[in-house]
Each structure stands twice: as structure tokens, then as C-alpha cells.
Structure 1
Amino acid sequence: MAGEVVAHAAEAAHHGVDLVPIVALLAAGTIAVPIFKRVGLGSVLGYLAAGLLLGPSGFGLISDPASVLATAEMGVVLFLFIIGLEMEPSRLWALRKQIFGLGVIQVGICGALLTGVGVLLGFAPIVAFVFGMGFVLTSTAIVMQILGERGELATEGGQKMVSILLLEDLAIVPLLAVVALLAPSTGDVSLLTRLISIGVALGAVLLLIFLGRRIMNPFFSLLAQAKVREVMTAAALLVVLGAALLFQVSGLSMAMGAFLAGVLLSTSTFKHQLEADVEPFRGLLLGLFFLAVGMSLDLDVVGANWQIIAMSVVAYMLVKATAIYVIARVLRSGHGEALERAVLMGQGGEFAFVLYTTAAASGLIDGPTNAIFTATVIVSMVLTPFAMIGLRYLIPKTVQSMDGIETAEGLSGRVLIIGFGRFGQIASQPLLAQRYSVSIIDNDTEMIRAAAQIGFKVYYGDGTRLDILRAAGAGSADLILVCTNEKTQTTRIVELLRDEFPLARVMARAFDRVHAIELVQAGVDYQKRELFDSAVTFGGEAIRLMGADEQQIEDVLEGVKARDRERFELQLNGEDWRTGGQLLLSNARDQAREGGVSVGKDEAEAAASRSAQPVQGS
């Protein structure tokens, strides 16, 4: 009987969907990526390593990486659509000098230099041109992923890199056209045929612009009236993949079609809805893309041609990185910014695979040469996260200028404020209004200069150092306010004050409930969570707009504060919040009845249950 069940299961698996590769891909991604991120190597390298293990060069669970890569390229398409949504036409126009200035300069110079490197390595000039121009196209996915993880997309340096990446993505279109022109002729191609191809491509661009400006908004408005979420999700994918298909059949880049569709919808009222609908697919498929790239790395080809691949990787990455650094410095970027751009953009990218595959299909390069080129790009992509780790030791640490800044020395105010950001500035005003002598220290020189412009005297000093606390007058202060915005920093200062200045009364800014409990246990006389009062006031205004009168608002807010105090005491004493659950539930019911608020029993119980639970961010 058991044998029959196994046989039936095997037969079902044979005729049905083979789940082994799917499960293997999901398992590889969910296991490798967290591990690599935890050790500081980044998610991209985690995907590449997992793909290498799953592919023909590893365990061989997936024997046809090309088929996976073809599907996974949709991740790059969706990724560029998301980028396009963030690039409003006005923003693109503002970046035009960087895109068509800096971008063209970098692509042109790097392309010429890398073509020369290819010739020196022994490739024919046309083959060297294809190799070099493919390597010029930096991995948009890797760079954007790293910039996004580090929160640097909106910085000036990040914007320059994004502009260059956009130009490189645009460059794939003329490069594919050049490859088609350089391909060995298989027959007479008339001028009329070429003109028709150019006309079709321009027509596709114009058609997409028309659809984006005239049709898509009414289309989504009509679908929104149906109020069916899955229909909106399907429509979002239809727009992205439809634009990609339109450009593909017109001989253009699918990714550029998706990017243009995103730009056209960037000013739409449905922009955020589209982004939310596409984002889960984008993340999964982009991860699948990196897995597929890792699987595509043929170790047999690498082993048989390791000398030329090693020389190519070293030569191309060094030449490209050096050129990028020199260009950045000539155009007046700082050393640190130029070095970071050179290292981050020194690798080849995913569009190189498109260019090399097209060149192989047209007969410009043969299969083994295509494999060498592809392996070179993949190895460069794998090395990039390691290069970024090494970069940390090369970029000089930013040294704050102390011009016009006074250090904390011999201060003796009755009140000492440590940290003068948004919280500290507001907290200081009642003290100053009462004319108490207040000493203020902070370790941000730019903030100190800004404060001086509006009449505040702030001294430079690091509150986590005992000698600075003594120099700032902590030993003689009646009250010390710790208003720093870093949890660990605040706790460290409070512990120093408790141990070294036990007579001083200490008030501290808490980040959340857990931090507030930590500060109370560290010995503060008073703590306040930075967003609690403003959030309670905000909620009060919300129920006012919903029709509550003044007495109801007062009762409701007092109930919220009372339950928060009770919950805080329970957690502070190490008790499970559930031990006081019945009390909190009873209070919520009483509040609902006495306040005249129209809340049912079940709703009151649910609300009290939720409010009783210890939430990290509250």
C-alpha cells in the first residue's frame, strides 16, 4: 500500500509542477541573504553565492540557469519601473546636466579606455569594443540596492550615481543598434528596412507617451471604482509588462520601456498605489535575478580560462574605477565621494549580459568568448561587496571643523542640557523663559553654528565622556537634561551621571517604552518618550474632527494616559502585561460608557486588549 502511494506521488510530481527548484530557490534566498547581511557582505552577494551553489557549478539542483535568468530579468524591469515612479519629469529635467553631461562623459571615456584594454588583451577591435562597452554598463540593481540599504539615494553623491546609471541604461539602446550594424551581413538589408526599424522604435516611444499622459489615469480611475484590490494589482503589472513588451517588439530595451512608463505615471494620483502593488513582485524577481546570475557562473569555463578572466577582471575594474575617480575629481567632487563612486561603479552590470547575448546571436562573438565575457562581469559583480568593505578603510573619516566653536570648559549653569537637536531646543525654552542659567553642549558642529545664528550659545562636547561632563559642570548642576537622539548614547550618559554625579537630578529623552524602562532602571528622575504626548494630542484632534465634544476628548485622552501608566508600571516591575489585563479592560469599558462614546463591548475589549500589549515603538 505504501509503495502504491509513493508511486502515485512520484507520478503526480512527474506530470505536475516540479516544486523542488522553486523550494530550493526560496530556501537559498531566505537562508543566505540574512547570513550575508549579518556579517556585513550585503544581500546581493548572498543571492549570488546561493545561486552559485544551486547551479550547475554547485549542487546542480537547477540545470538550466538561462531559463531562470530570462524570467528573472523581469525583476530588473520592475525595478526600473519603481525608479521611474520616483523620477518626475521636473526632477529629471533638474538632473539633465548630470545625466547627459556627467553620464555621457563617464560612458564615453570609460568605453574608449576599456576597448583599448580589450585590444591589449588580444581581442579583435570589434570584439574588444563589445567587451568594453558591455563592462561600462554598471549594475543598476547592485548600485541601487547598496545605496538604498545605506539610505544614500537622496544624497548629492547618490543622485550623481543615479544620473549616470540612467544614462547607462539609456545607452543600451544605441549599443544594441551598433551591434546590429556591426554584425556580419547575412543578406542585403536595404536602407528602407533600417529606416522602418527606426520609425517603429520612435513610434513605440510616442505611443507609450500618449498612453501614459492620456489613457492610464482614466484607466486606473475606472478600475479604482470597482474597489477590488487584485484588479488594481493586475492592472499595475499590465502597465509595466505591457510597456516592456511594446519596447521589446519595437527593438528597444524592455527595462527602458518600464522606466518610461514609471516616469509618465510619476505625477499620477495612483503613484503610491502602483508602487505598493509592484514592490513585492519587484523584490522577489530582483532576488531571483541575482540568484540566476550566480547560477550562470560556469566554474568549468572559469577554470579553463582563468588566466584571461583574472586579467580581464583586474584590468577592467582598475581602469574603469580609475577613470571614474579621475572624472569625479576633475568635475570637483571630493576625494571620499569620488573614491566611493569609483569602487561602487567599477563593476560590470546586468545589461552587459543583454549586449553579449545579442552580439553572440548576431555572430559578432562566439560561444566561448561570450562565456568568458559573462564570467568576467559576474566575477566583478561578486567582488563589489568585498570592495565596498575595503572602502571603509580607504575613505578618510570626516573631521568636523572647529572654527568658531568653543569647547565645554569650566561651565557652571544650574541646568545642563546635553544634546540640542529638535527635542533639546524645545525643552530649553521654558527654562530660558524663567531665566535659569543654562549650559548646553552638543557634538554636532554644524548644529552649534546654526544655533549661534539664532542667539543660542552651545558648547562642543561629547556627553559620553566623563571628562567632558565634568568640564560642562555636571558636578555642580541642580538638573541635567539628556536630550540626545541615540538610545545607546542616552543610556550611556545616564549611567555615567548616576555613577559619578549621584546628587544631580536627571531627566532624559526616551525613544520608546523599552528605552524608557531602561532609563528608569538606570536611575533617571524623569523620562519622557519623545513622541508620546504629541501622538496623544494628535489622536485627540482626530476624535474632535470625528464629532467628539471637549469633555469626551478629555476623558478619552486621560484614559489613554492612565492605561499607559498602568502598563508601564507592570512592565517596569517585570510583570506580564496580561496580569493587569482585566483592570485595563475594565477601565476601557468604563471610559466608553462614561464618555458617551459609541463603542460596543466587543470593540472596547479589542481596543483594551490591543492597548495593553507592549509595543516596541510606543
Structure 2
Amino acid sequence: MALDAPSTIIAVTDKTGVSLFVQAIVLLGAAVIFVPVFKKLGLGSVLGYLGAGVVIGLMPFTISDGEQLLHFAELGIVFLLFIVGLELKPSRLLALRREIFGFGFLQVVLSALVFGLLCYAIGYSWKLGTLIGLGLALSSTAFALQILEERNEINSGYGRKAFAIMLFQDIAIVPILAIIPFLVPDFLKGIVDAPQPSFDWLAAGKVTVVIGGLILIGRYFLNPLFRIIANTGAREMMIVVALFIVLGAAFATQAAGLSMALGAFLAGVMLADSAYRHELEANIEPFRGVLLGLFFMAVGLSLNVEVIFDNWITVLIAAPVVMIVKAAVMYAMLRAVRTSHNDALRIASLLPQVGEFAFVIFSTAVAAHTVSEELASIITAIVTMTMALTPFSVRLGERFLDAAAEDTMDEDFEGASGQVFVIGFGRFGQVVSQALLAQGIHATIIDHNAESIRNAATFGFRIFYGEGRRLDVLRAAGIANASIVAICGGGRERTNEIIRLIREHFPNVRLYVRSFDRSHTLELMDMEVDYQIREMFESALAMGRNVLDGLDVPQDRIDDIIEDLRKRDLKRLQLQQTKGLFAGADLAFRNMVTPEPLTAPQKKSVLLSEATAKVAEQTDTAKAADQQQKP
């Protein structure tokens, strides 16, 4: 039975008759070929995935149903929004309310108004023009955030404003879908079986309950759950729980009529204050990367080549026109609210494409008989084309930046990584952290012991759960932004593993390490850490200093002794590093026992018991006999 399992898996097919196993191999193989080539050419990974999807779509007998794959691959956007939510504390999200409901609202309304007027000018009705305008006003969260991530500019000033606009667009999808039934042409009302417009109080109640439920669960239930899972030591269960939370939140919001991405984002925001957020981010990141790449490939696959060929003039003209108009409206709006030229241009060149939610809007409009299938196909082709042109629009926008203007990144350290990265929060790490906090230095502290994290929280410390030997955890916690990493615990071998990992991937970070004994210190010196200290050395010197002080040794003499001991210890370490552990023994003070000449007892000995007396008497008798036998 076991031997038949592989053939059974390979035999599973979709409705086109192509094996799902073969489809997976084709998708992975195309990504392996195209993405590195496009990255090497400086075109970015997004275009690489798109190109791979287009080529696969043109190949016969491979994958023909790109739209079905697109629906599944939208999970990549869900995971992406969850990770973005993890980076935004509720307080920080509240601080962005002006950008979200100010810039975001203005962008959607102004863009929809301009596109609607253009559609009305070329002969469409005002209802159809309104729908098309609203659909074209939205941008692609997946494309824009991927580009920001590749450039490491999500936390820049313009990156935060761009994200705020995209977040409002994700929220706006709900009312846009709600008004589609109101936009059915008048001559079709009563003729076709279209949904009748009305306010659905039940749906509004569902939305309220779901959002409130997500907030309550995230606030009171998830942290205790993570603590229980962490205490079991089953790492794979942390991954399972992370997937369950993301997909569960996405399903809940979709069931309430909201987008799945919005639910995942809310779940991420609720966990942004959690000590486990770096662990969550590290566990979700691989799924996010694979599924988001699959989404871009699905966009390329869903490109209807026949529609483009039949309407190639319309598509080729309309796609760049849409992008230019949208970028111009966005730039003018941002400049009107006193955004700098460079930031306004960067945002305008980043968000001129039409987003993935346009597919949802126009497919819903077709079902509601608001848009014809032919027009929806042409618009879908235009939308896909604008996505494909996004990397080029970003590079084109960079040509018009004002190089003379000061280009700075806004500082916002809330929820971000610190200047110092502390690994291990045991007794040693707690003292180190105290010194940093006393100076007001922001430090990111991680520990893999759930009990330590819970105990630290009771004393006002905020530390994150994570294993320092995992590269993905270190990256998620922001080690790349740290100037010093202090490794304060975890055992000798674990410490060495962390050092090798950091030296390989983050060579510019300075390493300050706790050593566990003299031989470990020699290992650390060979590994060229920037600073190491034996955990007992300084405390032993402090004890010796106080003992001497208790014996009334002059303070100057004590200082000289302690300083001399430090110098001798350092010289011994330098000798031992080159000549072995037993070198430099003469540099250590020793209390050697020197034998003294034997002298006769001054007093007669006293026998303490009768047994002792008998033994002594027998000894004396034996000695007398020996003396008599001697000549």
C-alpha cells in the first residue's frame, strides 16, 4: 500500500486534467529560473515572478486556470498583512490616524472622482463611471509592500505614509462592495436577477461582532496560549498556532463580509505588544514569501492574452494612462498637504498601479450585472498590465528626485529594534539590561525561556520570546539595526553557535559576550569577539578587595593589588592563547607549602584512652626489641 502512495499523489489532477504534482514542479522550476535572472538584471523579484507566470500561461498542457491559483495565492497577501500588523502597535496605529483617514481618504475619493469623470467623458454612464473609478483608485498592497521590503524602506517617512494610504484602501473595499447593487443600470432593474440594494443590519452586526471578538481574543487569550505552548518545548506547535491564528482571523473577517487581509492585519496589530511577536514573524515569514511569490505568478498566469490581442491598442494605451493619471492625482494631493517633493514623488511612483481588489470588485460587478463580462475582461487586463509596470514606474520616479534636498528617514523607535541587542535574560542579562535602561538606551532583549519572560513582565521588563540560534528570529527582531549584541547566557555551546551565526550573517555587529570559564574565554578570543568577560572574575576581584579592606589594608595598596591582578590575568590569557592552557603559571600568586626540619617535641605526650595506651605500649616493646637485635 505504501508503494502506491507516490503514484496516487502524482495522479491527482485539476479540472484541466494536469497533475497537481506536475503543476507544483512547473511553478517552482519557473520561479527558480526567472527570479534570480530578473534580480541579477536589477528588475526585482516581482517582475521575475510575473514573467514566470506569463511564460507558464503561454505553455500548452501546463496550468490554464490562473484565476483559481490566484484565489489560493491571495493567502500570501494575508500573511504579508499579518507581518505588517506585527510591526504596528495599537498606539502607533493610532498615531497614524491622520495619514490613514486623511491621506488615504483623499487619495481614494480624488482618484475615483477623476477616473469617473474621464469615463463619463468618453461615453459611460455616471453609475458605471463611478464603479470603474472606485476600482481603479485602489492600489496593490502586495506589489507596493514587496518593493518597500526589498528596499528596506517600510519604516521610512514616505513608506509609512504609503502604507497608511494602502491600509485605508483595504478598509474601503467593504463600502465599495456594498454600493455595487446601487449602481445597476436603470434599464436592467426588474429585468435581471440582480441583488436589490438595501442596508443589511445583520451584516453590520456581524462586522461589529467579528472585529470586537478579534480584539478581545488578541488582548486576553493569545498570550497565555503562547506561554503554554512555549513551555511544552514543541517548536512545531508554535508554527501550527501561528498559522491557525492568521488563517482563523482571515476566515472570520471574510465570513463577516470583510477582506481576509484586514482580519490578518488586525490579528497582527493585537499581537504587536506580545513578547512572542518576533517568534511569530519568523515562523510565518517562509509561508508569506512562498505564497506571495505564487500570487505574483498567478497574476501573470491570469493575464488573458487573447483579450490583450483583441484589444491591444486599448490595453497598451489605457494601462500607462491610468498610471500617469493616478500618480499625478496622488502627487498633487500630497503636495497640497505639505508633503515634500521627494516623498510625494516616491509615493506617487510606488502606488500608481491598480490593486488586486479590483479583481474582486469587477467580478462582483459582473455577477450584479453592473459591468459586462467583456468590459470586465478588458479592465482586468489593464489592471494586470499596471501591476507589471510598477517596478518600472518606481525606477522612473527616482530619476525626478531632488538630489539636493535633504533625504532623511523619520526616527520612530517605538516597537522597532534597539541600538543594543541583548540575548539572554537570566541573572547576568538582567544586570546588563539595568545599566542600559539607567542610561536611557533602548535595547531589544530576547530569551527562549517562557518562564523568564513571564517573571520579567511582573517587574516591568519587556522582552521577546525567541531562540537566539535561529537566523530568522534574529532578523525578525531587528538585529541588522543594532550596533552591539550582548550575549548574556544560554550555555557555552549555545553561545558559540550564536557567535558563529552572527559573525557569518552580520559581520559588522560588535559582539560583547559572557564567558563561562577560562578555557571558554580562550575560545572567544580565538573567535575575535569584541569584548568578553568571565562571569566569576570581576565578582571574585570585588570579594578580594573587600576582604583586604576588612583587614585594614590601605586603600591605595588594595587598588594596586587589584590592578596588578588584572594585568597578570590578561598576560596569562595572551600566553595561553598561543602556548596552551598551562602557559603563564608563573604569573599567578601561589601559596606553596615549604617543608620544615623536624624538631623533637618540647612536652611529654599524653595518652587519651586505654586503647591508645595499649597501642603505644606495643609500639615501644617492638622498638626495644629492634634495638637489642642491632649490633
| Deviation, structure 1 residue 589 | 11
Paired position in structure 1 for 2:292: 286
Find 1:329's aligned residue among 331, 335, 355.
335
Q: 2:221 is paired with a residue of what secondary structure?
A: helix
Query: What amino acid sits opposite 1:111 in the alignment?
Result: A
Query: Given that residues 559 and 588 in structure 1 are in contact (C-alpha distance below 8 angstroms), is that contact kept between their aligned partners in structure 2?
Result: no
Whether 2:266 is the aligned partner of 1:269: answer no
Question: RMSD across aligned C-alpha pairs, in angstroms?
Answer: 3.2
| Deviation, structure 1 residue 319 | 1.3
Paired position in structure 1 for 2:35: 33
Distance in 2 between the 1:92 and 1:47 partners?
32
Distance in 2 between the 1:242 and 1:198 partners?
20
Query: Given that residues 173 and 252 in structure 1 are in contact (C-alpha distance below 8 angstroms), is that contact kept between their aligned partners in structure 2?
Result: yes
| Deviation, structure 1 residue 396 | 3.2
Please show how residues 184-195 of structure 1 align to structure 2 within 5 Å: 186=193, 194-195=200-201
Deviation string, structure 1 residues 110-162 (Cα, Å, up to 9, x no partner) = 11111112223433322222222112111111111111111211111111111
Please show how residues 504-519 of structure 1 align to structure 2 within 5 Å: none
Paired position in structure 1 for 2:98: 97
Distance in 2 between the 1:590 and 1:169 partners?
65
Paired position in structure 1 for 2:243: 237
Distance in 2 between the 1:195 and 1:156 partners?
39
Query: Given that residues 323 and 386 in structure 2 are in contact (C-alpha distance below 8 angstroms), is that contact kept between their aligned partners in structure 1?
Result: yes
Deviation string, structure 1 residues 551-582 (Cα, Å, up to 9, x no partner) = x2xx65455446769xxxxxxxxxxxxxxxxx
| Deviation, structure 1 residue 389 | 2.4
Judging changes above 3 Å, is the alpha-carbon distance between structure 1 residues 327 and 560 closer, same or farther for their aligned structure 2 residues? same
Distance in 2 between the 1:556 and 1:226 partners?
31
In the alignment of these two chains, the number of paired residues is 430
Paired position in structure 2 for 1:202: 208
Whether 2:138 is the aligned partner of 1:137: answer yes
Query: Given that residues 98 and 164 in structure 1 are in contact (C-alpha distance below 8 angstroms), is that contact kept between their aligned partners in structure 2?
Result: yes
Paired position in structure 2 for 1:76: 77
Query: Given that residues 117 and 315 in structure 1 are in contact (C-alpha distance below 8 angstroms), is that contact kept between their aligned partners in structure 2?
Result: no
Query: Given that residues 251 and 260 in structure 2 are in contact (C-alpha distance below 8 angstroms), is that contact kept between their aligned partners in structure 1?
Result: yes
Distance in 1 between the 2:23 and 2:194 partners?
43
Query: Given that residues 54 and 60 in structure 1 are in contact (C-alpha distance below 8 angstroms), is that contact kept between their aligned partners in structure 2?
Result: no
Query: What amino acid sits opposite 2:38 in the alignment?
Result: F
Query: Given that residues 319 and 383 in structure 2 are in contact (C-alpha distance below 8 angstroms), is that contact kept between their aligned partners in structure 1?
Result: yes
Paired position in structure 1 for 2:315: 309
Distance in 2 between the 1:94 and 1:588 partners?
57
Structure 1 runs of 4+ with >6 Å offset:
7-12, 586-589, 592-595
Query: What amino acid sits opposite 1:136 in the alignment?
Result: A
Find 1:14's aligned residue among 11, 35, 40.
11
Judging changes above 3 Å, is the alpha-carbon distance between structure 1 residues 399 and 128 closer, same or farther for their aligned structure 2 residues? closer
| Deviation, structure 1 residue 324 | 0.8
Judging changes above 3 Å, is the alpha-carbon distance between structure 1 residues 12 and 295 closer, same or farther for their aligned structure 2 residues? closer
Paired position in structure 2 for 1:352: 358
Query: Given that residues 116 and 133 in structure 2 are in contact (C-alpha distance below 8 angstroms), is that contact kept between their aligned partners in structure 1?
Result: yes
Query: Given that residues 217 and 268 in structure 1 are in contact (C-alpha distance below 8 angstroms), is that contact kept between their aligned partners in structure 2?
Result: yes
Query: Given that residues 107 and 136 in structure 1 are in contact (C-alpha distance below 8 angstroms), is that contact kept between their aligned partners in structure 2?
Result: yes
Distance in 2 between the 1:66 and 1:47 partners?
16
Judging changes above 3 Å, is the alpha-carbon distance between structure 1 residues 206 and 43 closer, same or farther for their aligned structure 2 residues? same
286-295 vs 352-361, greater mean Cα deviation:
352-361
In structure 1, stretches of 5+ residues that fail to align are: 1-6, 402-421, 423-511, 515-528, 566-585, 596-618
| Deviation, structure 1 residue 339 | 1.8
Distance in 2 between the 1:333 and 1:35 partners?
37
Paired position in structure 2 for 1:167: 168
Find 1:225's aligned residue among 228, 231, 240.
231
Judging changes above 3 Å, is the alpha-carbon distance between structure 1 residues 289 and 350 closer, same or farther for their aligned structure 2 residues? same
Find 1:248's aligned residue among 244, 251, 254.
254
Judging changes above 3 Å, is the alpha-carbon distance between structure 1 residues 558 and 335 closer, same or farther for their aligned structure 2 residues? same
Please show how residues 503-582 of structure 1 align to structure 2 within 5 Å: 535=511, 538-539=512-513, 542-543=514-515, 546=516, 548=517, 552=518, 556-558=520-522, 560-561=524-525
Judging changes above 3 Å, is the alpha-carbon distance between structure 1 residues 204 and 393 closer, same or farther for their aligned structure 2 residues? same
Query: Given that residues 89 and 273 in structure 2 are in contact (C-alpha distance below 8 angstroms), is that contact kept between their aligned partners in structure 1?
Result: yes
Query: Given that residues 77 and 258 in structure 1 are in contact (C-alpha distance below 8 angstroms), is that contact kept between their aligned partners in structure 2?
Result: yes
Deviation string, structure 1 residues 262-315 (Cα, Å, up to 9, x no partner) = 111111122111111111101100000000000000111011112322332133
Q: 1:220 is paired with a residue of what secondary structure?
A: helix
Query: Given that residues 99 and 161 in structure 2 are in contact (C-alpha distance below 8 angstroms), is that contact kept between their aligned partners in structure 1?
Result: yes
Distance in 2 between the 1:155 and 1:390 partners?
20
Paired position in structure 1 for 2:401: 395
Whether 2:51 is the aligned partner of 1:54: answer no
Distance in 2 between the 1:59 and 1:359 partners?
31
Query: Given that residues 317 and 380 in structure 1 are in contact (C-alpha distance below 8 angstroms), is that contact kept between their aligned partners in structure 2?
Result: yes
Judging changes above 3 Å, is the alpha-carbon distance between structure 1 residues 187 and 374 closer, same or farther for their aligned structure 2 residues? closer
Query: Given that residues 172 and 351 in structure 1 are in contact (C-alpha distance below 8 angstroms), is that contact kept between their aligned partners in structure 2?
Result: yes
Q: 2:153 is paired with a residue of what secondary structure?
A: coil
| Deviation, structure 1 residue 225 | 2.3
TM-score scaled to structure 1, two decimals? Answer: 0.64
Paired position in structure 1 for 2:221: 215
Paired position in structure 1 for 2:558: none
Deviation string, structure 1 residues 534-554 (Cα, Å, up to 9, x no partner) = 53xx22xx12xx4x4xxx2xx
Distance in 1 between the 2:97 and 2:394 partners?
28
| Deviation, structure 1 residue 188 | 8.2
Distance in 1 between the 2:6 and 2:103 partners?
60
Query: What amino acid sits opposite 1:52 in the alignment?
Result: V
| Deviation, structure 1 residue 25 | 0.6
Deviation string, structure 1 residues 241-281 (Cα, Å, up to 9, x no partner) = 11111111111111111111111111112211111111110
Distance in 1 between the 2:6 and 2:233 partners?
41
Query: What amino acid sits opposite 1:263 in the alignment?
Result: V
Distance in 1 between the 2:522 and 2:9 partners?
63
Distance in 1 between the 2:356 and 2:71 partners?
12
Q: 1:92 is paired with a residue of what secondary structure?
A: helix
Percent identical residues: 38
TM-score scaled to structure 2, two decimals? Answer: 0.63
Query: What amino acid sits opposite 1:245 in the alignment?
Result: F
| Deviation, structure 1 residue 30 | 1.8
Query: Given that residues 53 and 301 in structure 2 are in contact (C-alpha distance below 8 angstroms), is that contact kept between their aligned partners in structure 1?
Result: yes
Query: Given that residues 181 and 197 in structure 2 are in contact (C-alpha distance below 8 angstroms), is that contact kept between their aligned partners in structure 1?
Result: no
Larger radius of gyration: 2
Distance in 1 between the 2:287 and 2:9 partners?
29
Query: Given that residues 31 and 48 in structure 2 are in contact (C-alpha distance below 8 angstroms), is that contact kept between their aligned partners in structure 1?
Result: yes
Paired position in structure 1 for 2:533: none
Distance in 1 between the 2:195 and 2:366 partners?
20
Query: Given that residues 53 and 296 in structure 2 are in contact (C-alpha distance below 8 angstroms), is that contact kept between their aligned partners in structure 1?
Result: yes
Query: What amino acid sits opposite 1:379 in the alignment?
Result: M
Judging changes above 3 Å, is the alpha-carbon distance between structure 1 residues 559 and 266 closer, same or farther for their aligned structure 2 residues? closer
Please show how residues 463-478 of structure 1 align to structure 2 within 5 Å: none
Distance in 2 between the 1:313 and 1:23 partners?
32
Judging changes above 3 Å, is the alpha-carbon distance between structure 1 residues 119 and 219 closer, same or farther for their aligned structure 2 residues? same
Query: What amino acid sits opposite 1:14 in the alignment?
Result: A
Query: Given that residues 9 and 21 in structure 2 are in contact (C-alpha distance below 8 angstroms), is that contact kept between their aligned partners in structure 1?
Result: no
In structure 2, stretches of 5+ residues that fail to align are: 14-18, 408-418, 420-501, 530-575, 586-631
Judging changes above 3 Å, is the alpha-carbon distance between structure 1 residues 345 and 592 closer, same or farther for their aligned structure 2 residues? farther
Query: What amino acid sits opposite 1:320 in the alignment?
Result: K
Query: Given that residues 340 and 391 in structure 1 are in contact (C-alpha distance below 8 angstroms), is that contact kept between their aligned partners in structure 2?
Result: yes
Query: What amino acid sits opposite 1:159 in the alignment?
Result: R
Query: Given that residues 81 and 264 in structure 2 are in contact (C-alpha distance below 8 angstroms), is that contact kept between their aligned partners in structure 1?
Result: yes
Paired position in structure 2 for 1:116: 117
Q: 1:394 is paired with a residue of what secondary structure?
A: coil
